[in-house]
Each structure stands twice: as C-alpha cells, then as structure tokens.
Structure 1
Amino acid sequence: MAQSSMKNGDRVGGRVIGDYLVGKQIGSGSFSVVWHARHRVHGTEVAIKEISISRLNKKLQESLMSEIFILKQIVHPNIIRLHDIIEVPGKIHLVLEYCSGGDLFMHIQRHGRVPEGTAKQFMQQLASGLKVLRENNIIHRDLKPQNLLLSTNDNNSILKIADFGFAR
C-alpha cells in the first residue's frame, strides 16, 4: 500500500483529505470518526476512518498499528479492504472500502428477520473471511453484527469483516 501525505492546500476538517472529497459522517467510535468520501479524480466511493493519535494511549496505538498491519496483509472479498493511509500531525486516516449497505445490526433493524437463504449466504461469507484470518494466524476478537459490513443494500450484498482494533 502506498502511503500518502497531505498536499499543500488540502484542508483537514474542511472537505478534503488527501485526494478525497469528504462527505457526511457515517460512523464513530471512542477514538475515531468515519466519513463517506469520494476520490477527487476517479470518483471512487470510500470510507475514511479518522483517528486522533493524541487520544490513544500506548496500548491503543499498538492496537491501531496491529489493525493497519492486518489490513495491509489480507486481501479477501469478505474482509474490508484498506486502500490507503494518510497521516497528518496528530491524526491518521485509514482509507477503506465503502460498504453502502451499512452494518449487519442496522440491516436486521431495518428488515427485521433475515430470510434463511440470506442468513446462509452471510454465514458462508463470514466463514470464508474467518478461514483466511485463521490461515494467517489472526483472530478478530470482536465479532458482532456492528463489525460485519454489507457491500450493498440489496439481496446480492457481500458481507465484509471490519474493525480489527482488537485483533491479534
């Protein structure tokens, strides 16, 4: 993965991070905010996870470095893809694959019961992703519906394992 740094004239907190035009906030955690964004040239949709380094203690910084290492190492259709890393003073931005279907928790809230066929597909995709992690001696340690993202909001959605902050 290529590492980028901010170009002169780019605004953080405005609407631009690296080569990406930042849109609305799509999520947040204890130490991060996730933004929807588009590449300025290609128009590719991405999610940018913005992490304030200053808010992380040494252990959390190590977890972040571990997450980055894992995401750089694994390329699989059922694991969220890391496209780029953009570092600026005090912050690190992980440019990730965008999943327009949101997370599995939101999907269940929206649609209620998941049909058996869909549940079977999701479980097969989850197993496929976990198999690749196991083959690479990685354990996620925080699997839950909120950390399982869906590529689209339709019946052909692909499940993606995300948030490797607790992984080892």
Structure 2
Amino acid sequence: MVRDAMTLYGARGLNMSIGLASMMIYGRVFATSGIAVISLFEMVASLFLSFGFSWSGLGIIRYGKEEWLATKTLNRTSSIRLIILLPSIVVSIFALYFYNEPLLSYIGTQDPRLIHYLLANLFLLAVHGHLSDLFTAAEQHAWNALYNFGESLGKLLILVFFVFGSMTV
C-alpha cells in the first residue's frame, strides 16, 4: 500500500515536471498573445472533455470494482463505457470540424491545424481517462502511475510536434 502511494506520488511529480516543461515551451515559443491562445485552447479542450467524456468515468470505478471483485475482469464495464463514449466522440469530432471557424476565431487564431491538435489532445485525454479508471477499479496503482506519466509525455510530444511543425498562432 505504501509502495503504491509512493509510486503514484512519484508519477505525479514527474507529471508536474513535464507540465513545467510544457509551460516553458509555451513561454519560449509564443508571445503573450500566443499563450492566451493556448490557454483558451486548453479551456475548450477541457470543456469538450467534461461534457463528452469525464462524466462516465465514475461508473467504471464503482461498477468496475464490483465486476473486478466478482470476475477479475473489467470486460462488461469497459464495453458499456465505450458504447457510451462513442456517440460523444463522434459528436465532438463533427462539432470541431463543422464549427471550426467560429471556434478558431474564439480561440484567437485562424490556423486550421489547431483543430487537429485539439482532436489529438481529446483522443489522448479520453483514452487516458478510460484506462486510468480501469486501472483504478482493478487496483493496479503502479500501472496507473506509469500510464499517467505516459499520458503527460504524450501531451508534451503532441505539443512539440505541433509547435515545431510550424504551426502559426
């Protein structure tokens, strides 16, 4: 138990370090207006995530735990959540593509590649939320910590790819 807690705290520390590195990249690459664009972008991504994906995560933890104790699998709970998430993902993709101009205008840029960056982040966050909830339900805390670190590293790589891929903001 103590080892699991130490692993989780260590992974959170690494995640915070990666977050700091991301903010340093933002600060070095973008002007103040660019950082404002990224902040608005993160807010929009969080909004899509909250309404589309996060709300169903508690069901995995509660019902998944019951399924895990009874059968040592999470197949049924995971399948049901994926069935619930699929319409949210489809609606999010359509909303981002069909309303990209007003969304980009609100964020403060006209670069359509930001929509792909938003989609990549939403996909990564949705997968992260689902797998993290599964690991929590199965009490696989070390794997959860490792996965959290991998997700943060993935976000940093997506950022580096889009920033150094000559995205204009």
Q: Same fold, TM exceeding 0.5?
A: no
Higher strand share: 1
TM-score, normalization by structure 1: 0.32
Q: Which has the higher contact order (CA 8 A, sep 6+)?
A: 2
Greater radius of gyration (CA) = 2
TM-score, normalization by structure 2: 0.32
